[in-house]
Structure formats: C-alpha cells, structure tokens
Structure 1
C-alpha cells in the first residue's frame, strides 16, 4: 500500500462515508472521464475561470489517485515508467517543438 499524505486523507474520507463499496475500477474510470469532461467545459469558451478549473482538476486527480490505489499501483511509479516509454517514443531530436508525432510529418 502506497503511503502518501494526500492518498491517506482520501482513504480516510472514503472510509468515513463508506463509499469504498462503490469504488470499483470501472466506476472510478467512468468518474475520471466524467470529471475530465467537466474540466474541459471550463475552457469551452476560452475564458476559463481559474477557480472552477482548479476544482474540476482536483476532482480528476482525486479519482485518478483512488483508481491507482484500488489497482494497487503507485502513481509516481507508473507515471515515471510511462515517461521513460515516452522518451523512447518521442526522442528530443525528432520531436522538439513539434506537436505532431515525428513519423507523421
């Protein structure tokens, strides 16, 4: 079990409300998608209100952390592992300053 102050606080919050029974991986993944849509809505008309965006981003991150916890994975470890794969997939010399994948130019 990953020990992290934020994750520990989330676990306590969920325990106090007996919500863990609802937190299946599928439900958490759906919640991430729903909250990501609400975050996107903050930017719909190019005038994003920072406070609203922060709250929606917090919701997305909360569900991501809860899903990682449910799956028994360390968020820092999986992000670092994915970053290593991305370094190989997008080498600096071929990707620098480009938004398109280098093999599609």
Structure 2
C-alpha cells in the first residue's frame, strides 16, 4: 500500500469538493471515531464465534468501515504533518519492546 499515493488521491477528492475547511484535525478525529462506532455496531450483540465468522454482507460492510477509518486517519496524519508509516512503525517497535517475550 502506497500511503503517499492514497493521501494524494484523498486530497484530490477533498479539493474537488471544497472540503478542506472541514478537515481540521478535530473534525477528522471525530469522523474517524464515528466510523469506528459504525464498525463496532456490526459486532454488537454477536458472540465471539459469530464475530469471527461474519456473513459475506456483514464482512463487506466491516471492510467498508475499516476503509473509512484508515482514510480519515490518513487525512488526519496529513493535517498534523505526521508520516503514518513512520508513526505506525514506531508504535509497533515500542509494542515489540514492551510486550515481546
């Protein structure tokens, strides 16, 4: 996945629709949270086993919500001047250091 290309494509959509004024870090964080809530809703009331074996329609819906979350986070990183690849790798390295056995 080329994060730079994805971010540029998102910026094109944003700019074509005059959404830049709405894409503050606060708004993007809130939008990502709303999409996360929509993902959580798919799993609400399911058993552990059911959550691991979603029917095709629900699995596709979950994928759409994951995509929404990732795209909002890419835009958030862009607005904050963060390199998503770098921050994710740094966090992974920290988790490996803290939790590896």
Q: TM-score range by the shorter chain?
A: 0.7 to 0.9
Q: Tell me how far apart the structure 1 counterparts of residues 6 and 26 of structure 2 sit (CA, whole Å).
A: 22
The corresponding residue for 1:51 is 60
How many residues of Structure 1 are paired with residues of Structure 2 in the alignment?
90
Write out aligned runs for 1:19-58 (5 A): 19-46=19-46, 48=54, 49-58=58-67
Query: Once the 2 structures are TM-superposed, how far is the Cα of residue 81 of structure 1 from its aligned partner?
Result: 0.6
Contiguous gaps of at least 5 residues in structure 2: none
- 1:24-77 superposed Cα distances (whole Å, 9 cap, x missing partner): 111111111111000111112435411111111111111100000101111100
Runs of 4+ in 1 over 4 A off after TM superposition: none
Contiguous gaps of at least 5 residues in structure 1: 94-105
Structure number with the bigger relative contact order (C-alpha 8 A, sep ≥ 6) is 2
The higher radius of gyration belongs to 1
For the aligned residues, what is the CA RMSD?
1.4
